[in-house]
Amino acid sequence: FDSFAFFNEKAASKANLFFRLENLLYEALDKQQFYLTYQPILQINTGEITGMEALLRWHHPEIGEISPVNLIPLAEKTDLIVPIGEWILRTACQQNRQWQAAGVPPLPVCINLCLNQFQNPDLISNIQSILEENQLEPHWLTIEVTESIIMENIDYSRRAIEQLAAMGVNLSLDDFGVGLGSLSCLQQFKIPAVKIHQSFIKDLDHSPVNEAIVTGIMTLGRKLGIRIISEGVETQQQLEVLQKLQCQEIQGFWFSKPLKVDAATELLSQNKIKADPLA
């Protein structure tokens, strides 16, 4: 039994698979199989939309829809995450520019970054040139990163976060509460906004544990002057608990699923959405 040959064969087939994956992603970019959907974030009390989160979608002609949960980690294994990430940033900023040009009330577009994108040495200059290209003021862009991305290299993150803040780009800490370093992250960095992970919002209306956790996060937010956004709000019952806990901002299927451009534009054009979402 020639284990060396066996190993080589396995390595070769892995390399081959990898090559095919890279081609698939390259083709997706080239043939415009990627598109962005946008999910509104809104103020609980006024119904005002305070941001639109861009969420990546991939429609492959044979496979169909591929979730970003699968797509992003695959793309991260290849160098293509860099051009894909740039495409996301550019497309969302262009879209936001178009919304502003159409006269909808201006709001930030929120972009998720994965580790490789965040640690890309060209991150700041890429953001800068995309904003300039689109004549978009930096405060109409929000960068969402998770605590695990920030804590991966604290020194690097400190510089990047300072540079983003100096530029005037907003930062949100995504998926708050599930990562091991969530609290350390607040301890070490000036974080202006936190998005509570949806697992804490799920069952909020009949889980005393979740209610206690969300109450704690709201207290943290008030004491530290951090905006708190609840993700994954699906029901009226969850919304009512969040209102009781004085959470100001929500995102979730209760109000809207992520929308394709046309539907998102229509929603934004309605300008005043719902005076009181609880009414």
Positions touching ligand C2E (CB under 6 A) are 39, 54-56, 67-69, 72, 88, 112-114, 144, 174-175, 198, 231-234, 251-253, 258
On the 0-12 / 13-18 / 19+ scale of CB atoms within 10 A, 263 is: middle
Using the minimum distance from each CB to ligand C2E, give the nearer residue, 205 or 234. 234
Q: Which two tokens stand for residue 152?
A: 């991966």
Q: Per rule CB under 5 A, is residue 144 in the interface with Mg ion?
A: yes
- DSSP string computed for 198-256: HHHHTTGGG-HHHHHHHHHHHHHHHHHT-EEEE----SHHHHHHHHHTT--EE-STTT-
Please tell me the distance from the alpha carbon of residue 36 to that of residue 178, in angstroms, as a whole number: 26
In angstroms, give the least distance from the CB of 48 to ligand C2E.
Answer: 18
In angstroms, give the least distance from the CB of 232 to Mg ion.
Answer: 8
Look at residue 56 and give the partner it binds from Mg ion, ligand C2E, none, a contact being a CB closer than 5 to 8 Å depending on partner kind: ligand C2E
In angstroms, give the least distance from the CB of 245 to ligand C2E.
Answer: 17
In angstroms, give the least distance from the CB of 15 to ligand C2E.
Answer: 25
Look at residue 48 and give the partner it binds from Mg ion, ligand C2E, none, a contact being a CB closer than 5 to 8 Å depending on partner kind: none
Look at residue 256 and give the partner it binds from Mg ion, ligand C2E, none, a contact being a CB closer than 5 to 8 Å depending on partner kind: none
Nearest residue relative to ligand C2E (C-beta): 252
Amino acid at 145: V
Using the minimum distance from each CB to ligand C2E, give the nearer residue, 81 or 218. 81
Please tell me the distance from the alpha carbon of residue 124 to that of residue 220, in angstroms, as a whole number: 29
Continuous segment of H or E residues that includes residue 27: helix 3-30
